[in-house]
Structure 1
Amino acid sequence: MLYIFLISLAVLALLSIIFEEVTHLNKAKTTLFFGCISWIALFMSAGDPGHEKLIAAELNENLLEIATLWLFLMSTMTFVAYLNAKGMIQILVQKLFPQKVSVRVLMLQVALFSLILSAICDNVTATLVSLGLLTTFKLDNQMRRRMAVLIIFAVNSGGVSLITGDVTTLMIFLGGHVQMSELLILFVPAAVSVMLLAVLFSLKAEGHVSTTPITRDYHKVDVVIAFIFFCTIIATMALNILFGIPPVLTFLTGLSILFLVGHNFRSKKEEMEILEYIRQVEYDTLLFFLGILLLVGMLKEIGTLDLLTEVYAMYDPNISNFVTGIGSAILDNVPLTAALLKAEPVLTTAEWLGLTYSVGVGGSLLVIGSASGIIAMSKVKELTFVSYLKYVPALLLCYSLGYGLTLFIANHLHG
């Protein structure tokens, strides 16, 4: 009875996201409410102090995961929001992209930019910077939404080929199942599937778009902060690979340097304005993440993920991997991957690469299936759960092509 109630709460949270436009209830507030209620229900049904301690330990573990991601998101968003407010991202776009470009060419350029950026830095940073690009172009609502969907797919695809790009890729690598050189193979199917989606999206796209001219002035301190952001990204990758330092720690260090530099070069009033701007822009995204992760943690606690692991073992690994990728569009791919690794399935290198691709990219099939999707939905007002659904057939086609290519290349090289 309890399990039915808890799963019902998760379904209600999903429905609150789907029908946000109808109810006019902010999805961040509804998911947070259902996430908190689900854990309260778990505690109330514990029955004895021993069981309560177990649930408390699980909640603390869940909150630690959430806090790590929250702090990481907060520090990344602060950098991006600051640079966006100061026009630095627009300046970057004007350096990289022509001032006037056809929509079709822009589609391909944005796809390639997001793909490469997400391979060398984390998905969250890549999504925020790529979405920052969209604000510099005068796009209509439909085209902005299509571009946002393309960014989500490209960011998730680019992240699978390097351990710096996606947490699930790092988990499978640390488990000793794939080598760094083998992971690089995944960039080929990832790039092909992303380019196919860009071509499909650009078929009906006509006309040209121009960048918004930069009117605001920027100061030397803004260039310094942009440089600090770049150095933080490089340091995050390097320190994680060399010393195993968690990315959140490096990014928080970078953020502290930003605040110290800002304090010395800006007046108290300017500093408060920047912090207030960041708080207004980003708070909903963080609350939405908190609610979603509390719900996923609850599903993990009641054994839903263990059930999925059992189903995984019943079928051919190539089919199971493909379906697991689709499943990661509903459930967070990190606990899903952790549950599968704990089950220790016996897979070939090609099958491990297939799993790496599927759990990394499969989350793109629904807007709530990945961190980049949740961020995009919070940032692009035209993008909702329902509006995203009409792109699912194209996304499923590209995901299937990428997965098929992964198996073909991996089997050819390791056959």
Structure 2
Amino acid sequence: MEILLVVIFVLGYLGIAMEHTFKIDKLIPALAMMAVLWALIAINHLEVFEIIPGIGKESHHLEGVLLHHLGKTAEILFFLMGAMTIVEIIDYFDGFSTIKSFIRTKSKIKLLWLFSTLAFVLSAIIDNLTATIVLITILQKIVSDKETRLWFAGLIVIAANAGGAWSPIGDVTTTMLWIANKVSASQLIIHVLLPSIVCYALPTLVASRMAIFKGNIDEIIADENANSYNSALMFYLGLGGILFVPIFKTLTHLPPYVGMMLSLAVVAAVAEYLSNRRFKVGKAMGDHDQNHQSPLHKSLSKIEMPSLLFFLGILMAVAALESLGMLFDFAGALEANVPYLGTEHASTKISDLVVLLLGAGSAIIDNVPLVAASIGMFQIGMDEPAWHFIAYAAGTGGSILIIGSAAGVVAMGMEKIDFFWYLKKIGGLALLGFLAGSGVFVILRDFLLNAH
């Protein structure tokens, strides 16, 4: 029966990895895989376990284990739902136009560093997918040459993925590790920020020496809405609300989704006030807007439900294998047979090679199930160096291929980037940044461990 479950999981995995080939949204195989796995467990009355750190497998009733995993998955989904809604509220007020006010140069090299740095910083706050959408939208308004714009977009993808890796709110995978209490916000930043900077800065530096980035772009078109008071207010309020969540968790020790709901409530309240005031002013001036709608309701209708359903399916599918103890046993086999290549002072025995392969694998297969599986496999303590390395590798490895990350996929759609063009022009730069950042991580980790 376990072999059948693994076969179903692998088939579902292939469906997810090859969604562009099959032209089927990845949420479909994810949801089907989840339902079939749990159904087979229930029908065959298989014994399920809860993995307890330091103890191992402990047998439990199926319904209790299912509810336990659903609760942990719901924490992630509600956190993401709150963050997505705040981002949509910012967009409702055209808040991201504020970013365009930072662009005051026509030099291609300066613009490259500006866009890459903005992608790196923004992705750490509003996630790498949203940061990529925002910056490519702005890019399309100021860079007219298609070839030049493709290069900019490729470097934005690398920087956005690197920026999401060091922040607990910057990427779904780091958020998963944070919510699962595998990493703390402070230690994640200490261990992963410098490698992530190297991961985006080195490819940007190499690219800035290329002929494509020599010279200037055409005149930048001014955006009349860029300096709107309401736009800027909602932009900074929204970003501040998301940044408040790690602080809230540190102060209260409550799950992050609670802080995100509080931030959403504050941002939505201000949005409702500004929207109602604007509507009343419009009516007083004779502008009867029949389409006036609550910004909160409008934003909730625009959040990425397919993404949320995909996360539900894949996380619960991985949980099914975890509940049978299969991931725990597989991790034991890895730890016993793969040599550990790091410092002798490290308390974990997870091989650096395994983590690097996980990062490279995220360029082919979605990094969410890879990290979900690692959470179920490795029963090591919070803030062990391996968790920080997994956060870095899974977050940045996807940049190697255009289909390896959500940021890459959305850039591919927005700019019609060819798979092989990206592989030839950008893939090598992404690989260089990934490996250089990995090297910096190992050196920094060994230094910090020796210092203790």
Aligned equivalents of 1:180 and 1:78: distance in 2? 26
**Matching residue of 2:441:** 406
Equivalent residue in structure 2 for 1:288, among 301, 310, 319:
310
Aligned ranges for residues 133-172 of structure 1 at < 5 Å? 133-138=135-140, 140=146, 142-143=150-151, 146-147=154-155, 149-159=157-167, 166-167=174-175, 168=177, 171-172=181-182
How far does residue 20 in structure 1 lie from its aligned partner after superposition?
2.8
Aligned equivalents of 1:209 and 1:11: distance in 2? 50
**Matching residue of 1:38:** 37
1:212-236 Cα distance to aligned partner (Å, 9 max, x none): 7535599755554334323313421
**Matching residue of 2:67:** 60
Letter in 2 for 1:373: S
Letter in 1 for 2:202: L
Equivalent residue in structure 2 for 1:129, among 116, 126, 131:
131
**Matching residue of 2:113:** 108
Aligned ranges for residues 14-53 of structure 1 at < 5 Å? 14-46=13-45
2:139 partner SS:
coil
Aligned equivalents of 1:144 and 1:288: distance in 2? 29
Q: TM-score, normalised by structure 2?
A: 0.71
Equivalent residue in structure 2 for 1:188, among 178, 185, 194:
194
Q: Is the counterpart of residue 310 in structure 1 residue 333 in structure 2? A: yes
Equivalent residue in structure 2 for 1:321, among 352, 362, 367:
352
2:292 partner SS:
helix
Aligned equivalents of 2:418 and 2:371: distance in 1? 18
Runs of at least 5 residues in structure 1 that lack an aligned partner in the other structure: none
Letter in 1 for 2:197: A
Aligned equivalents of 1:47 and 1:355: distance in 2? 30
Letter in 2 for 1:326: L
Distance change (3 Å), C-alpha of 1:277 and 1:378:
farther
Q: Is the counterpart of residue 297 in structure 1 residue 331 in structure 2? A: no
Letter in 2 for 1:133: L
1:128-183 Cα distance to aligned partner (Å, 9 max, x none): 23532221111647447524531443124433899xx9454784556xxxx95896
2:167 partner SS:
helix
**Matching residue of 1:364:** 396
1:312-342 Cα distance to aligned partner (Å, 9 max, x none): 24422528034224326354425524642x2
Letter in 1 for 2:194: V
Aligned equivalents of 1:66 and 1:379: distance in 2? 28
Letter in 2 for 1:115: F
State which drifts further: 323-332 or 210-219. Answer: 210-219
Aligned equivalents of 2:92 and 2:127: distance in 1? 16
**Matching residue of 2:245:** 236
Letter in 2 for 1:316: Y
Aligned equivalents of 1:310 and 1:50: distance in 2? 19
Letter in 1 for 2:355: T
**Matching residue of 1:73:** 80
Aligned equivalents of 1:214 and 1:3: distance in 2? 59
Calculate percent identity across the aligned residue pairs.
Answer: 16
Letter in 2 for 1:286: L
Check whether the contact 1:309–1:343 (CA below 8 A) recurs between aligned residues: no
Q: Is the counterpart of residue 333 in structure 1 residue 365 in structure 2? A: no
Distance change (3 Å), C-alpha of 1:312 and 1:48:
closer
2:104 partner SS:
coil
How far does residue 17 in structure 1 lie from its aligned partner after superposition?
3.1
Distance change (3 Å), C-alpha of 1:375 and 1:133:
closer
Greater helix share, structure number: 1
Check whether the contact 1:32–1:287 (CA below 8 A) recurs between aligned residues: yes
Check whether the contact 2:358–2:393 (CA below 8 A) recurs between aligned residues: no
Letter in 2 for 1:284: P
Aligned equivalents of 1:335 and 1:115: distance in 2? 27
Equivalent residue in structure 2 for 1:271, among 293, 303, 310:
293
Check whether the contact 1:110–1:130 (CA below 8 A) recurs between aligned residues: no
Letter in 2 for 1:109: L
How far does residue 251 in structure 1 lie from its aligned partner after superposition?
1.4
**Matching residue of 1:260:** 269
Aligned equivalents of 2:324 and 2:399: distance in 1? 24
Check whether the contact 1:114–1:127 (CA below 8 A) recurs between aligned residues: no
Letter in 1 for 2:354: V
State which drifts further: 50-59 or 285-294. Answer: 50-59
Distance change (3 Å), C-alpha of 1:6 and 1:334:
closer
Check whether the contact 1:89–1:129 (CA below 8 A) recurs between aligned residues: no
Aligned ranges for residues 74-93 of structure 1 at < 5 Å? 74-91=81-98, 93=99
Q: TM-score, normalised by structure 1?
A: 0.76
State which drifts further: 380-389 or 228-237. Answer: 380-389
Aligned equivalents of 1:105 and 1:378: distance in 2? 24
Aligned equivalents of 1:344 and 1:310: distance in 2? 19
How far does residue 89 in structure 1 lie from its aligned partner after superposition?
0.5
1:136 partner SS:
helix
Tell which structure's C-alpha radius of gyration is larger: 2
Aligned equivalents of 1:252 and 1:379: distance in 2? 29
2:138 partner SS:
coil
